[in-house]
Structure 1
Amino acid sequence: MTWLYDALLGPFIEFEFMRRAFAGLLALALAGAPIGVFLMLRRMSLAGDAIAHAILPGAAIGFLISGLSLFAMTIGGIVAGFVVALLSGLVSRVTQLKEDASLAAFYLVSLALGVTIVSLKGSNIDLLHVLFGNILALDDPTLLVIAFNATLTLIVLALIFRPLVIECVDPLFLRTVSRAGGPAHMIFLGLVVLNLVNGFHALGTLLAVGLMILPAGIARFWARDISAMLVIASASALLSGYAGLLLSFHTEVPAGPAIILASALFYLLSVLIGPVGGLLRRLFPGRHLEA
């Protein structure tokens, strides 16, 4: 039993940086995974990925001005994310270009611009930190920012939960009975940006959206009810984070990629054995597989 303790619990009990990393993952899982579920249900998964990259120029400008300053990079990322989300929506409404193509264009420009800005002042290590994060180096101020953003997300999500759910199921009905759809959508985009900035501090720009989209995909194979999806997505995100941290601790795999790879493994298992549309269920739809 000693080896089991050393393998599964010892790293978190003995090392403070592992506890900090897990605390950050807890906040990301509780707030980011539910946002990912609504991104998936609203067919905005790729939009979330585009906005994740769109925060890079703002964070890079903050880095250019103040170095690796938490406040400057957070504010810069939030502002850049909002600007790109609003501009892409505006372009799709005043031109014939669809919103996904508009987001793709802004995403490419933002990524190139952000990398260029960081390269002007920083080293390759700074660039890797911005692109891939360093969840094992979270300090108290960063944890407080992540926890505050996560708490704010859960409160606001509870307030706009009803119109979000209705719009996912029947947007036409929502438009006929209420005008809450438009404001709820804009608020939801704000929550997306906020949680992508959270993910940026822990996992970097390139992986920030991973703990939002992959757990949402996992939940889709295990539940049909939206409330159950939210719970499963958060639980799978936390489990993926725990497994990824252990993988990183016991091997030489970087923590961020290890967490996303663990989540990808759970996603593949869900594709195979998930009771809601999984491959095994489709191949053998008999009574012995019924819930």
Structure 2
Amino acid sequence: MFALTFSEYGPSDVLAVTEVPEPHAGPGRIRIKVRTAAVNPVDWKIRAGFLQEVYPVDFPGIPGWDSAGVVDEVGEGVTGVAVGDEVIGFGPTAQAEYVVVEHFTAKPAAMSWELAAGLPTAAETAVRSLELLGLEAGQTVVIDGAAGAVGSAAAQFAVARGLTVIGTASEGNHEYLRSIGVQPTVYGEGLAERVAALAPGGVHGAIDTVGAGSLPELAAITGEPSRVVTIADFSGSVPEAQVSTYASAYHALGEAVALFEAGKFDLRIDSVHELADAAKAQDASQSGHAAGKIILNVAN
């Protein structure tokens, strides 16, 4: 099969579309003929060698965790899905002609292929982070970086669970945040005072999706460092904060689809690239300026 690969750590020019042996669906898994895949920050971090201790690569490496396409093999013991079904998959080596996954959900006919590919990592990370906080309906959560993919996903899940959501973003994204039920405020100095004005009853939890050094202030806002979850700050500046790093909330895929079908979940798409232009897509992700998910067309 064809796949996006890299045979050494380095800048984005180590990426190339090459031929590799195709995988097959073993017990408990399905194989997807991939139509679209998403680019996430973890892709370029692995490619650059920044995560060698966490995600060592057996070269040639194939990037990607999020895929959408059509089932073409069903492994032993898998039920509820058949060859020809359109699905959303969550699992490694997604930026290839075929990917084998254990975790998947049906793609609604009304959902675009771009949104379908962009959904898994954002939804899983968002739900995992919310569940670490264990908040209840009627409570308030602050999401630092609420206009990003994970932040906006977390906001939509939180609103659906009956939480009040305050989200930080640049002023240009405030109208977007209001459209998904978030009370917006800006980043930076004075955040605690701005949040206090928006939430006179207090804040019960916070999620940091940015990793820009806000943990101490978020801990002060919640009054308890353990009520803060970060997916991006591993500095240890607030040792009691919860670090959310390993995927486990696989049910988030189905939850996101159910919310989408109810008209309560969407993600912004920043750009769509062909697989051969994946280096450009990873560079866009690494820039930190993408306004939404970056998607690869793998096959039409």
TM-score (norm 1): 0.25
More strand, by proportion = 2
Higher relative contact order (CA 8 A, sep 6+): 1
Structure with greater helix share of residues: 1
